[in-house]
Chain A
Amino acid sequence: MFLGIVTLLGLSIVALAVALGIVLWRDAGEAISRFGLFRFLAGTSWNPVSGEFGAWPFLLGTLLTSVGALALSFFPALGLAILSAEYAPRWLAAIIDYIVDLLAAVPSVVIGLWGILVLAPHVRDHVYMPVWNWAAVNAPAQLGWLGNPTGYGLVTATVVLALMIVPYTTALARDAIRLVPSEQREAAWGLGATRWEVLRLAVLPYARGGISAGAVLSFGRALGETMAVAMLIGNSHRLPLTLFGPATTMPSVIVNEVREAVESLHLSSLMAVGFWLFLISLAVNLAAAWVQRRMLVGSAGA
């Protein structure tokens, strides 16, 4: 009886996961039957007025921001992990860990608030506009790909996103580094290695499973990050082919347009975007688990 209850409750999770996929698929039905699942993803124009819906600009925006964010955040995040796990005395490591957890705890929408009201105007005035003005005079041919320097666009969103996903890499990397057996370090010290060489030789390779899993996890978070990105990315339906100019991601188009979507094809297309986001997140999640298993260094061996 008890077993029955808890099993039911456990299965509710299964039910929710399955329902998520099924409901998104079902509600995306109109768009999928109209455009085809893959052609929908490849379609480059999204026009609620004309009824033409293609998600490619959003997929591109999502991939560019997420890959960019991972690239920007990986070394700082790893640096924080190494600092906390290897170099810092215990009291300092505790403070660093607290601050990293604090970063993870700040709601995305608050970071977005700061981004809209402080960061974007600031980078527009002190970074984008000067570069744009310089280019307008000295290299006008470059203006095309530089784009419109409003402050809200791919670069701003990517930088903020990078900041937000740091804690995920740091936490897993830090734990993995702490788990490296002391004999491995001692073996490196015994060979006459310096501090950094011990890290390079014995610690980081041993911890690579956790470090990689952290990176994949961060990437997964970046893909689904909605609020701060939606507030900073400019939200244009055009392909994100410029550096400073506006773009859109899959989560941001959903949050911007679902409430307004009156027409059923429009809504169905948004659901289709959601379905694709679901598939991609699923794949990345599974990849994270696989990466960690594959790269785990243990007695069973690399």
Chain B
Amino acid sequence: MTDLPAQERIRLETRKLSVDYGNNRGVRDVSLEFKDRRVTALIGPSGCGKTTFLRALNRMHDLNRNARVTGSAHLDGADIYAPGVDPVLIRRRIGMVFQKPTPFPTMSIFDNVVAGLKLVGIRDRSRLDEVAERSLRQAALWDEVSDRLGSPAARLSGGQQQRLSIARALAVEPDVLLMDEPTSSLDPQSTKRIEDLLQVLKNDVTIIIVTHNMQQAARISDVTAFFLNGDVIEAGSTDLMFTNPQDSRTEEYVTGRFG
């Protein structure tokens, strides 16, 4: 992975972002920058808050009555938590792929991919076809399904379903793609395919990926942030973090002494 060049555009930035669940702190005062065309990995042991932080980035905590978010998160300079900002709009610009592949099982592959587009009212068939093909290619799934776009999405394998979920998220052309342990429920071949496509995808979308697999983080990310007990212990170039971590806790985690 390359060193961070100077003067790169910051797409997403958090300033002292905290999430509380009732009396429990999920994450505390996290300030991170996510630069354009980079893959950032969020790593840490279970329960460290990396997923909680990720879900704050597209305002998924709005759905939880017990969660309270403080601080700010700026997408291209504008705070997504400012009063009056519509979370529905934010989620079109910041997409999400979940740990379990979640195609809509009653729909076909094609309908799944274009589901997000239809929400905005895009009905034109040729436009939908165009976007479907583009997204499926970006998700490295096109070759496998181009001849059966009308068949049920439920019939795909786990790895294919996850790539379908990625295609669906990409179809609406988000600026940032959040991924919550997207390969943890998949077999090694599927995992590799997705890791490979992320290397190409990062040129189109800023990617932030939560992973409990350190080797994966080392393989695919440019920047890594290490979370522990709700705090960010260290964040920076992936190469440096894995070869020469600054904090002793980081070193213990990446060398596998705990977690």
A residues whose Cβ falls under 8 Å from a Cβ of B: 183-184, 186-194, 197, 201-202, 205-206, 208, 297, 301-302
Question: Chain A interface mostly helix, strand, loop or mixed?
Answer: helix
Q: Judge whether B168 and A191 touch: CB under 8 Å.
A: yes
Bound complex: CA of A111 vs CA of B46, how far in Å? Answer: 58
Complex CA distance for A189 and B90, rounded to whole angstroms:
11
Check A191–B172 contact: CB distance below 8 A: yes
- Which residue in chain A gives the minimum CB-CB distance to B91? A192
B63 at the interface (CB under 8 A from A): yes
CA distance A302 to B104 in the complex (A): 11
A184 touches B91 (CB 8 A): no
A201 contacts which chain B residues (CB < 8 A)? Answer: 104, 115, 119
Extra inter-chain contacts (15) besides given A192-B172, A206-B104, CB under 8 Å: A187-B104, A188-B104, A189-B60, A189-B63, A190-B169, A191-B91, A191-B169, A191-B172, A201-B119, A202-B104, A205-B105, A297-B154, A301-B152, A301-B155, A302-B152
Which of B67-75, B93-101, B131-139, B232-240 lies at the interface? Answer: B93-101
B119 and A192 within 8 A (CB) = yes
Residue of A nearest to B92 (CB): A192
- Which residue in chain A gives the minimum CB-CB distance to B171? A191
Nearest CB on B from A283, distance (A) = 27
Interface residues of B (CB under 8 A from A): 58, 60, 63, 88-92, 95-96, 98, 100, 102, 104-107, 115-116, 119-120, 152, 154-155, 165, 168-169, 172
Do A190 and B60 touch across chains, with their CB atoms under 8 A apart?
Answer: yes
Least distance between B232 CB and chain A CB atoms (Å): 24
A–B Cβ pairs within 8 angstroms, 11 of them = A183-B100, A183-B102, A184-B104, A186-B102, A189-B91, A191-B91, A192-B90, A192-B172, A193-B119, A202-B104, A297-B154
Q: For the complex, what is the distance from the CA of A206 to the CA of B105, rounded to whole Å? A: 7
Q: Is the CB of B152 within 8 A of A190?
A: no
Q: How far is the CB of A102 from chain B (nearest CB, A)?
A: 28
B104 x A193 contact (CB < 8 A): no
